[in-house]
Structure 1
Amino acid sequence: MNSWATPPPALDDCILNVPSPHVLLVTLNRPKRMNSIPYALHWQLEALWSWFDDEPSLRVAIITGAGNKSFCAGSDLIEIDKVNTAKQSGQVDAEPWKHSHPKSGFAGLSRREGRKPIIAAVNGFALGGGMEIVLNCDMVIASPTASFGLPEAQRGLYASGGGLPRLLRTVGLPVASDIALTGRRFSVEEARECHLINRIAKSSESLLREAVEIANSIAAISPDAIVVTRAALREAWETASVERAFQLTHARFDSRLMKGFNAKEGLAAFKEKRPPRWQGSKL
């Protein structure tokens, strides 16, 4: 079905589709567990996003949840309870790293740097780790019935997937404090008002179609430009100095971008008044 250079890694409880050329759709498929994520799936998803970054035929990805109730309810608390009970009873874990998150965070996304953009299509509630996924995606579109929250503090915990500094950078200290310290759930309208999401879908039924339309608009531009523009935005978000962020991105990419095929092709297509014929990014 797909002319991928290499096959994607094996995944449990996830469905992969290509709804449009150059677009990968990843669906968390655990609706009976509210699309919560067990330990093993975090590592599998990290491998998937690494593969996605390296796969030349793909330019943008979408992540969503199965069903219409939950995007992702966070960690699989039943599994966590079993692991903690085993530890308390003195059972030795032969592979303790498997009961943690990878470096890229919750679902391989909440602390991901990556090369290519990922869009969150939030089809229901995004709570805890689910919201931390949203906070580090490049764009977010949500169903009219979606809701959001970081309830960890209500359970004596804290949002440990990297979401708190990203929340603060996006909405500022007062709003971030309101969300994280109360643990309250808030609506899709409030999420849009404080710039946590880009848009609200016309309906729950049209959510994925609208997400693919956004993805198509990204996939239509130069793959090199996608990588470099995203890197520049991320550098500015992560770096305290605006000028330093520019310098780092410029030094890393400017020469390589301009020497590459796609920059030359884009200029040639403009001059010749024709659609560009992009190649996979070599950056």
Structure 2
Amino acid sequence: MSYKNEWFLLEADDNIDEIEHREPTEEFLFYRAVATGDIETVRKNCEAGRFVEGEGVGVLSRDPVVNLKYHFVITTAMITRLCRQNGMELEQAFRMSDFYIRKLDDIHTEAEVHSLHDEMVMDFTEKMRKYARNDTNSKHINACKEYIYSHIKERITIEDLADELGVSSGYLSRLFKKETGISVSAYIRSQKIDMAKNLLRFSDYSMIDIANRLSFSSQSHFIQQFREVVGMTPKKYRDEYYMVQWDIESGTPRTEGDTAGMPMPDEMSDKK
């Protein structure tokens, strides 16, 4: 009997163990957190032990260690491609991927796989964080971006940044515009809108939830700011891009019926 026929019989078996796979929202947000260098989010995920939780994920092997290794490989592949898409050098991304996957050969317990997973995702995240804050800017501007990134969910003012850096707000404002080409407020807004786009695509948060989460003064203010930056309302953006199947390599959505490219996390029953 072919494997395909075996699957057809298994699929129709009323006694098959029913596993309701969790929504891919969490996987996407986690992968994005790694690819954008969001160390705080990634660290919290690791500390919560989300990678080894069994509820809502597929069983890829009856051997628990092998099962975890399979999920590790899937996670590494997805993170590698997203980091590459976000600017990591091709050779570096795939060499890191190969290095960590090869390390599985010497691992024989679930705890060891879990530990390797956490080390791998933190390594990728830290490198992406450094990439996003390269040394082309002065020390003050890099520190400014670092503060904004770490406090993106809060209301941030130029005065907050100036106090944090120990300089005057006028000096920081002029320096930031000179080195980045945009104002501090424009940069903060762009970072908040980028996070909002991910929440609209990969979560079920309402507009008011997203507005509050990112400390916009009101839902209407969030909608106005989003439309100015993106060119459409948050609702239209969600309607067009919510859970769309993305081609990880190119960063573009795949049209219906297009099966080219790597399968998405819900198709692979991935863990984080």
Q: Which one scores higher on RCO, CA 8 angstroms, separation ≥ 6?
A: 2
Structure with the higher fraction of residues in helix conformation? 2
Band the TM-score falls in, shorter-chain normalisation: under 0.3
Structure with bigger gyration radius: 2
Structure with the higher fraction of residues in strand conformation? 1
TM-score scaled to structure 1, two decimals? 0.25
